[in-house]
């Protein structure tokens, strides 16, 4: 059963190129700010500062807050892209992340080869791998470009392939950022429909957003972040649709 628990979760970004002595001297011993320095040579941004929360099965959580609050960093930590500098993060359930369309793809390989790699990575074999490949090729809809190396893809083509790879199989935990906005109009329509299906099927959704439309449409809880901390955590009154209320299309799941 899907579940996420963070205990004292902290993430730092070391800034190796900002080691000026005056900056370090100013930062050393400074408690409340987000820039910090150790006694060695490192200056770092404290992106997440000791977060405690639990997300249970059935919750659809919006991460909200101003620029630089830490929303994307928290999503990346949940996706396993960043290691905690402090505290603990425990996730139960398969994860799919719509965070970075280029994450987990090899730019020197073709779109089709990347799909095959993805099947290996997910442990898909035989018919399951065939269904995944068929779905991803058809959803990405890249024509002959599917057999060209992806380093030659446009930003929108990368998004098509990244989206197809992340959504071909419904996960227990779905993590989303707002990068989808770069797709063209036709793709956005298709992506929006597929997201509706996935959100209905996923046991947990966590989405970082500035859009109240998305919060109202999909979320049952809002975690409000500021300065790397959680400043508010509230249930939302309007219930999200149950899985069986969402129109579903065939997927690999």
Ligand X SMILES: Nc1ncnc2c1ncn2[C@@H]1O[C@H](COP(=O)(O)OP(=O)(O)OP(=O)(O)O)[C@@H](O)[C@H]1O
Binding residues for ligand X, rule: CB under 6 A, are: 13, 34, 45, 47, 65, 67-73, 208
Tokens of 213: 């439309």
Residue 170: which of 135, 199, 130 has the closest Cα? 199
Tokens of 124: 């898909």
CB of 80 to ligand X, least distance (A): 16
CB of 235 to ligand X, least distance (A): 21
Helix (H) / strand (E) containing 231: strand 229-235
CB of 133 to ligand X, least distance (A): 33
DSSP 8-state secondary structure symbol assigned to residue 145: G
CB of 6 to ligand X, least distance (A): 15
What are the angstrom distances between the C-alpha of 71 and each of 59, 107, 149, 160, 216? 17, 27, 32, 24, 18
Q: Which is nearer to ligand X, 73 or 167 (CB)?
A: 73
Q: Which is nearer to ligand X, 13 or 121 (CB)?
A: 13
Tell me the sheet residues that pair with 64. Answer: 224
Q: Which is nearer to ligand X, 55 or 157 (CB)?
A: 55
Q: Which is nearer to ligand X, 208 or 240 (CB)?
A: 208
């Amino acid at each position: 059963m899907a579940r996420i628990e963070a205990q004292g979760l902290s993430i730092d970004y070391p800034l190796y190129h900002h080691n000026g002595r005056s900056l370090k001297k100013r930062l050393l011993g400074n408690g409340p700010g987000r820039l910090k320095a150790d006694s060695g040579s490192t200056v770092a941004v404290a992106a997440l500062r000791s977060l405690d929360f639990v997300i249970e099965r059935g919750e659809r959580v919006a991460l909200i807050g101003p620029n630089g609050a830490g929303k994307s960093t928290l999503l990346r930590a949940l996706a396993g892209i960043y290691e905690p500098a402090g505290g603990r993060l425990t996730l139960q359930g398969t994860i799919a992340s719509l965070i970075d369309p280029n994450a987990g793809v090899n730019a020197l390989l073709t779109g089709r080869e990347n799909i095959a790699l993805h099947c290996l990575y997910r442990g898909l074999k035989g018919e399951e791998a065939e269904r995944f490949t068929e779905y991803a090729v058809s959803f990405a809809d890249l024509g002959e470009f599917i057999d060209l190396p992806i380093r030659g893809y446009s930003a929108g083509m990368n998004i098509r392939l990244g989206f197809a790879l992340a959504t071909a199989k419904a996960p227990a935990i779905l993590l989303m950022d707002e990068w989808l906005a770069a797709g063209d109009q036709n793709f956005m329509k298709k992506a929006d429909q597929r997201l509706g299906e996935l959100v209905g099927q996923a046991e947990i959704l966590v989405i970082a957003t500035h859009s109240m439309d998305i919060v109202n449409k999909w979320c049952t809880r809002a975690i409000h972040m500021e300065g790397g901390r959680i400043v508010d955590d509230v249930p939302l009154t309007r219930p999200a649709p149950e899985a069986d209320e969402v129109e579903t299309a065939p997927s690999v799941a």
